[in-house]
Structure formats: structure tokens, C-alpha cells
């Protein structure tokens, strides 16, 4: 094994009752691409967030290139040549690309020389690694795929020799992911060390040199990628044999539930994001809408859910029209059976400072089952949450845990659970309300 760029010894971390990392020891050779895999909530992101100084371990030691390192803040990590691209990007949305790149690394009190120098360096990085982004573009106007490029450029601009990527392909198409892998291989050839956090075994087998498997906070094994198989990794991830191919029976669509005709939608910039789209959804079927991030899928779903105004077109739900004028109340559409899981669950789907049980009833909190007179019935809300936690395998099973402390995939599952439980309730009602869900593609697909 080559000299270790990173060595973690006995890392232990808890968040209240949640034991996120359990005595983890790991060596990552310099100049390699090292994968860390595991289910949602396995402790992958927490471990690397400790390495980056975002969290501090309760116990354990960190060594960088053989020297013990006290990494108490991200600035300490950056000073040690460590960069991290988080699953949820750390960008200022109303700043330009260039402003985000130099933020915190201005290089002096006079901005103009720093901006000129940063622009030249950014052009070099874009040219060398194929990470082309308009430096004057405002972050909030960029699709998530391009925002990820900005995060990588930001780390490289700061001279990162160790680059951590947390679930980097969740917003990318397979072709975009392959392009990212080419960039990572190029960085490896230059001697940089890459840590890839994922639970997609295709990525592990395609790009990594070594892979470590985590389960329930513990490190289960480390393997050379060339000497393992997806089947072995999947078994190590979940503790049992896993079927990597699912046999699906033929669909048997039923009655027409949703009909979309000639729908067109513009975004806040006046750009047409949905152009004359028509489709139907029937009971008992899953309809997929594919496309590269930023090509109208979000606007389409938000319009059907009553969040965004349509330019023109019609939508009918169970034969009744949906108001597309912008006056529609999403709450009324929820009562008709529509559940919407947003792409950005942190900003639109959850209140991270709330408990899991509180988030689970948002939008449904006026139902009598959650009320005691004019007040919320806290005990009923928590008991309802416990029932759903058991039913939908939300981990850790604590309805009082702050949602910010759930892993990314688990918080998405909470969004699904909160919405889907209502759909199941509607589907058994005599009124035959709509039985369907609007949801973006999930970044938490395992194998």
C-alpha cells in the first residue's frame, strides 16, 4: 500500500442517542480514488464531515500524510489541503460563480486584483478539467449539475490535494457522471487523493481503486475494487444477500387519474421550461419523466402541485380541472390527493430545526386526529410518527430527533413517508380520491 494520505484512528461520534460513527479506523493511500459505501444513515457523510472539520469527533485521531492533525473547522481542513463537495452545496445563491469561487479566499483588501487573478485561474481550471461554467452566472439561475461543478472548482481553486465528494452523482445523468469520473481520473493522475462517498455500486466498480463499506456506523471491510464484486459489497452493506436484479411483472393500468394537455410553463426569468407537454397517469402505474437536471422537470411538477403558474394548458385530476392560474392553493390539491416531494427537500420539504414527528404532519396539521381542541396533540402526533417509522423503516426510530440530524437519504424517505401515508389513506377511502405522487428522481437509489 502506498503512503497514506489520510489515516483515521478510532473515530467515534454520537448525536444524542444516534451513534453515527463507531470506533472507525481507516487508511486511504495517497494518489488513489477511494470509495466509501453504505446504506443511508451508515455514517459515511458524518465520517468525512469530521475529516473536513464540519463536525468534531467525540474520540479518535486524524493523520494527514503521516502527521497528526487537529481539524476543528473547515478552515483547518482547507489549510491541510482538504476540499469537500457536500451533498447539499455550500454556495451563496445570489452570488455569481466567480464571487463564490473567491469567497473566503480574496487574497487581500483590494478585490479587483483578486478578481482578475481568480478569473485567470478559473479559466485554467475549466480548461484543464472540462468544468466549463459561466463565471458571471448567478448561482440560483444554474441547474444543480452546474452548481456541483462550481463546488469542485471552488475546492481546486483553494489548492485541494485531497478531494471529498459526497454523493456527487445524485443530480447527474449517467453521461454526466461518466464525465465526472474522467475528471477524477485526471486528478488522480496528478497525484491528488479522491474520496467518493456513495451507495451506487456502478460508480464504485467504475472509478475507484479501493472501497470501504460502512454499516450502522461501523467500518465492515476494505477491499481492492478489482478483487471484489457488487454482490459482495451489497451483502456487506446490508448484512444479508441482496438480489441486484428485480423482476417486475407486467403493469395493469386502471382508471385515468391525471391528464395533462399542452402544458407550458415559464420560470422566473421568463424562459419557457415546459413547452406543450401532454401525458396521462392511470391508477396502478408509475410514469417516469426523464431529462437532464434543469430541463423543466421541477417546473412541471410544481405547476401540477399548484405551486407555480402555467403559461397555458390544462390539467385534470379525476376528471376535475386543476386551477393553473397561480391562484390554486396547494393545500386544496393535497385534500384532493396530490402529494408533492420537492427536489430540494431541505428548503421546500422540511423544517430542519423541527422534530421528525413535526415535519411528518406539515400540511396536514389541521386534521382532527392531530388536534386537541384548538391546539396540536403532541402525544397523538408522536404516536402517529412512531407507527409510520416502523412501517417505513425510518432510522433512527426517534420521532423527537431533529430532522437536521437525519442523513440525506433518510430525510428524503421521511418526505416520502409523510406524503405516501396520506396517499395510502386516500386509496382506501370510498371517495376514490387521487392515488398518486409527484416526486423527483431519488438520489438514494442503492444498487
Q: pLDDT of 113-130, one tens digit each?
A: 778 888 888 888 888 877
Query: Helix, strand, coil shares of the chain as percentages rounded to 5?
Result: 35, 25, 40
pLDDT tens per residue, range 128-162: 877 788 999 999 888 777 888 899 899 999 889 99
pLDDT of residue 408: 62
Domain identity same for 105 and 186: yes
- Which pLDDT score is estimated for 241? 80
Q: Are residues 127 and 232 in the same domain?
A: yes
Total count of domains within the chain: 3
Domain boundary, last residue among 177, 205, 238:
238
What tens digit of pLDDT does each residue of 57-101 get? 999 999 999 999 999 999 999 999 999 998 778 899 899 999 998
Q: Cβ(253)–Cβ(79) under 8 Å?
A: no
Q: 320-321 and 312-317: which strand pairing?
A: antiparallel
425/66 Cα distance (integer angstroms) = 57
Contacts of 152 (CB under 8 A, 6+ apart): 85, 129, 131, 163, 165, 183
Q: Is the pLDDT of residue 432 over 70?
A: no
Closest by CA to 89, choosing from 143, 129, 160, is 143
The mean pLDDT value of the chain amounts to: 84
Task: Indicate whether 15 and 103 sit together in one domain.
Answer: yes
281 and 161, same domain (yes or no): no
Q: Report the Cα 24 to chain-centroid distance in Å.
A: 24
Inter-residue contact 313 to 324 (CB < 8 Å): yes
Q: Note whether residue 245 is domain-resident.
A: no
| DSSP for 221-267, written as a single string | EEEEGGG--HHHHHHHHHSS---SS---PPP---SEEEEEEEEEEE-
| 424 and 372 within one domain | yes
Residue 434 has pLDDT above 50, yes or no: no
- Domain membership flag for residue 310: yes
Work out whether the CA dihedral 82, 83, 87, 88 comes out positive or negative.
Answer: positive
pLDDT at 263 over 60: yes
Structural domain includes residue 247: no
Same domain, 187 and 304: no
Q: Residue 442's domain spans which residues? A: 338-447
Q: What is the CATH number of the domain that holds 132?
A: 3.40.50.300
pLDDT exceeds 90 at position 422: no
CB contact at 8 A, 51 and 71: yes
346 has which bridge partners? none
222 and 175 in a common domain: yes
Distance of alpha carbon 300 from alpha carbon 272, whole angstroms: 11
What are 264's strand-pairing partners?
312
Q: CB-hemisphere CA count at 13 Å for 374?
A: 0
What are the DSSP calls for 160-199, one per residue? Answer: -SEEEEESTTTTS-HHHHHHHHHHHHHHHHTT-EEEEEES
| CB-CB contact of 236 with 36 (8 Å) | no
pLDDT for the residue 188? 92
Distances (CA, A) of 187 to 25, 191, 239: 25, 7, 34
pLDDT (0 to 100) of residue 128: 81
Question: Is residue 286 included in any domain, yes or no?
Answer: yes
Evaluate whether residue 203 is within a structural domain.
yes
What CA–CA distance (Å, rounded) separates 268 from 93? 15
Confidence of residue 108 (pLDDT cuts 50, 70, 90): low
223 lies in the same domain as 258: no
* Long-range contacts of the stretch 232-240 (C-beta < 8 A, 24+): 233/37, 233/201, 233/204, 234/201, 234/446, 234/447, 237/37, 237/38, 237/39, 237/42, 237/199, 237/213, 237/446, 238/39, 239/215
Peptide bond into 56 cis (omega under 30): no
For range 356-382, the mean pLDDT: 91
Q: Does 445 fall in a domain?
A: yes
Task: Specify the residue for cell string 397517469.
Answer: 281
Q: Which among 224-233, 339-348, 425-434 has the top mean pLDDT?
A: 224-233
Tens-place pLDDT, residues 274-328: 999 999 999 988 899 887 667 888 899 999 998 899 999 999 999 999 988 877 7
Split at pLDDT 50, 70, 90, the class of 33 is: very high
377 lies in the same domain as 269: no
Of 275, 294, 328, which marks where a domain is finished? 328
Based on the domain organization, do 321 and 214 belong to the same domain? no
Q: Is residue 232 part of a domain?
A: yes
Instruction: Give percent of the chain with pLDDT exceeding 90.
Output: 45
Q: 307 or 247, which is more confident?
A: 307
The answer to whether 113 and 121 have CB atoms below 8 angstroms apart is no
Residues 131 and 201 reside in one and the same domain: yes
- Residue 198 domain-assigned (yes or no): yes
Give Cβ neighbours of residue 132 (< 8 Å, ≥ 6 apart): 126, 149
Q: Are residues 377 and 349 in the same domain?
A: yes
Domain boundary among 263, 293, 328: 328
Amino acid at each position: 500500500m502506498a503512503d497514506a494520505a489520510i489515516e483515521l484512528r478510532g473515530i467515534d461520534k454520537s448525536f444524542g442517542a444516534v451513534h453515527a460513527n463507531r470506533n472507525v479506523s481507516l487508511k486511504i493511500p495517497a494518489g488513489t480514488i477511494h470509495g466509501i459505501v453504505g446504506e443511508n444513515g451508515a455514517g459515511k457523510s458524518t465520517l468525512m464531515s469530521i475529516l473536513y472539520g464540519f463536525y468534531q469527533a467525540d474520540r479518535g485521531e486524524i493523520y494527514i500524510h503521516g502527521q497528526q492533525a487537529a481539524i476543528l473547522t473547515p478552515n483547518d481542513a482547507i489549510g491541510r489541503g482538504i476540499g469537500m463537495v457536500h451533498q447539499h452545496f455550500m454556495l451563496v445563491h445570489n452570488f455569481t460563480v466567480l464571487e463564490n469561487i473567491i469567497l473566503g479566499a480574496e487574497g487581500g483588501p483590494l478585490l479587483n486584483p483578486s478578481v482578475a487573478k481568480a478569473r485567470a485561474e478559473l479559466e485554467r481550471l475549466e480548461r484543464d478539467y472540462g468544468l466549463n461554467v459561466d463565471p458571471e452566472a448567478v448561482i440560483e439561475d444554474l441547474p444543480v449539475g452546474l452548481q456541483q461543478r462550481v463546488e469542485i472548482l471552488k475546492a481546486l481553486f483553494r489548492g485541494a490535494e485531497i478531494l471529498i465528494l459526497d454523493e456527487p452523482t445524485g443530480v447527474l445523468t449517467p453521461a454526466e457522471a461518466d464525465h465526472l469520473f474522467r475528471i477524477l481520473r485526471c486528478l488522480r493522475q496528478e497525484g491528488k487523493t479522491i474520496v467518493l462517498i456513495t451507495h451506487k455500486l456502478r460508480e464504485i466498480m467504475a472509478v475507484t481503486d479501493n472501497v470501504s463499506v460502512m454499516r450502522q456506523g461501523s467500518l465492515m471491510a476494505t477491499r481492492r475494487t478489482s478483487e471484489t464484486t457488487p454482490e459482495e459489497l451489497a451483502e456487506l452493506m446490508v448484512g444479508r444477500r441482496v438480489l441486484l436484479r428485480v423482476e417486475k411483472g407486467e403493469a395493469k393500468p386502471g382508471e385515468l387519474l391525471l391528464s395533462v394537455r399542452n402544458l407550458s410553463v415559464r420560470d422566473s426569468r421568463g424562459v419557457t421550461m415546459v413547452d406543450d407537454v401532454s401525458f396521462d397517469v392511470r391508477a396502478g402505474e408509475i410514469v417516469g419523466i426523464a431529462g437532464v437536471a434543469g430541463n423543466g422537470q421541477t417546473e412541471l411538477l410544481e405547476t401540477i402541485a399548484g405551486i407555480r403558474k402555467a403559461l397555458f394548458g390544462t390539467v385534470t385530476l379525476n376528471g376535475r380541472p386543476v386551477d393553473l392560474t397561480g391562484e390554486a392553493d396547494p393545500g386544496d390539491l393535497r385534500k384532493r390527493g396530490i402529494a408533492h416531494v420537492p427536489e430540494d427537500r431541505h428548503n421546500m420539504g422540511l423544517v430542519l430545526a423541527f422534530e421528525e414527528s413535526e415535519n411528518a404532519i406539515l400540511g396536514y396539521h389541521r386534521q382532527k386526529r392531530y388536534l386537541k381542541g384548538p391546539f396540536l396533540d403532541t402525544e397523538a402526533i408522536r404516536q402517529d410518527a412512531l407507527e409510520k417509522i416502523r412501517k417505513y423503516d425510518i432510522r433512527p426510530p426517534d420521532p423527537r430527533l431533529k430532522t437536521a440530524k437525519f442523513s440525506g437519504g433518510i430525510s428524503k424517505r421521511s418526505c416520502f413517508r409523510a406524503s405516501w401515508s396520506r396517499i395510502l389513506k386516500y386509496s382506501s377511502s370510498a371517495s376514490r380520491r387521487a392515488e398518486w405522487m409527484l416526486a423527483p428522481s431519488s438520489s438514494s437509489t442503492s444498487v
